Every structure is written in structure tokens, then in C-alpha cells.
Structure 1
Amino acid sequence: MSRGFGGSARIVWQDENTVVYEYAPFNLNEPEYRNSEHVYDGRITISKDSMVEPEIHEKLKVMHSGKKKLIIKRLRRDVDFGALLYAGKITIENSCYCWHLVGTEKNIGMMAMKIVFRIYDHYQDEGTLSETVSLYY
């Protein structure tokens, strides 16, 4: 069963140093935050040098047939999002559809932060930035 809120984001611009996403949150439980037109009016800017590389483990495994197979595991590393926000490596311009603000100063939209978490998780899992991100709760 869905809780009735979520958001989506897509890349609008990137170069070798920076990537910019626009995002659109929604909350179906509150009429003023439904965003039924899917208006992408929030902006997330991420410096590419802030992307944390995963820890990579390689292991040779002997299979039942006697052949050796290289197994590669990508282990996620913890990311200090607070430090990245404070240093300006991640900047967030809230959407007008933000209904819940988080952070030490309560100035960042909750769905924007969840989208940032998903972007970093995808980068550590796949090694690339995702073109689109969708979250539904």
C-alpha cells in the first residue's frame, strides 16, 4: 500500500565538473501539493568531485567445473551529506510543492534529499549518474 507521496528528477545539464537535476515532488494526501501537472521546478546541483567511489572487492572463485571465475563486489561507502551541503558541493533549490523540510536549519525539502540519496546510491552501485530518478512511497 502506498503512502501517497514521492518525486522524480531528471538531468537538465551536465559538464565534466557539475550535474544539474530538476525535480518534482508530490503528495497526494494534500491537495495543494499534488503536482498533478508534474511541474519540475526544484533544482539539485551536484559537483562531480563529491561523488564517492564504492569499495571494490575482487575474488577468484573456483567453480564446480574447475574453472576460475573473477567475482567483483561493489560495496557502498558512507557519504557525509551534511558536510557536502555545508561545503556547497550539493546545492538544493526547493520546489514550490515541498511539504516537509528537513536539515539542521529546516531548509531542504525531504523529497529533494531522498532523491540525492538515490543518486549517490545509484552512482556507487552502477558507476554512472542516472539520467532519471523516481521515488514512490
Structure 2
Amino acid sequence: MNFTLGQWGATVAVDILIKALLITALGVFVTFGMVPIFEFVFAAIILSAFHFVCLFLACIFVVSFEMVGLVSAPALTFALMLIGGNLLFFECIAAVLGSQPPGSSGLPSGLFLTATNLVPVLSVTLYGCAKRRQAPR
């Protein structure tokens, strides 16, 4: 993922904002406002940081394939990093949330949180592609 420092910053900011809004709204709705909002925002920041750790691990994994020569196209590299990072995030979240009460499944929560991961990365990518096309040549 060949993002500039500004693009990474925008991705992190949008990811934290989306997660904070959704998790806080859902948390306040479920707890009827009995829990402080800060706790939900803090959980969103932790989940966002974990998402970027998963992307970093997927990046290392895909770069190892690039070094061997199995992957060479930049679009394929980007897609593999995004898919690999989100799969790792989904599996970890589903495993943790699915182990809470017996018989519960963490799949819906894991899918919901994984969907929130795709929005910031893809929006910054699309913005970068649009900006690159508008640049004078």
C-alpha cells in the first residue's frame, strides 16, 4: 500500500471517526446512556489501532511474496494487503467476541467492524486516484 504520510493520516482519522461514531451510538443505545461515552470512544480507538496492526502484518506477508516474485502488479499487491489485513482483523474479532457467552457468535459483530475498515482505506484510495487524474501532465 503505497500511501503517503498524509494519506495514512487521513485513513487513520477517518477510521477512528467512523468507529467512534458507530460504536458510541450503538453503545449508548444498548446501555441507555448509563456508561460514559469516553469508554466507547476509547474502544473505537483501540479497534482502529488493531486494524492498522493487521494491515501492517498483511503488508509484511504480501511483501514476502513480492520478494520471491509471486506478486508483481501494484493493484494485486494492494488488494492482497487489504483482503489479508481485513481477514486477520475479522478472524480475531470474531474469535474474541464469539467466546463470551456460550453459544454466541462473533460473526455479525466481526463483519460489521470489518465493513467499517474498508470505508476509510477505499475512500482515501479513490480520492488519491481522482487527484492523480486531475493533476496536469
User: Common fold, TM-score beyond 0.5?
Assistant: no
The structure in which a higher percent of residues are strand is 1
Greater share of residues in helix:
2
TM-score (norm 1): 0.32
Larger relative contact order (C-alpha < 8 A, sep ≥ 6)?
A: 1
Bigger CA radius of gyration: 1
TM (norm. structure 2) is: 0.32
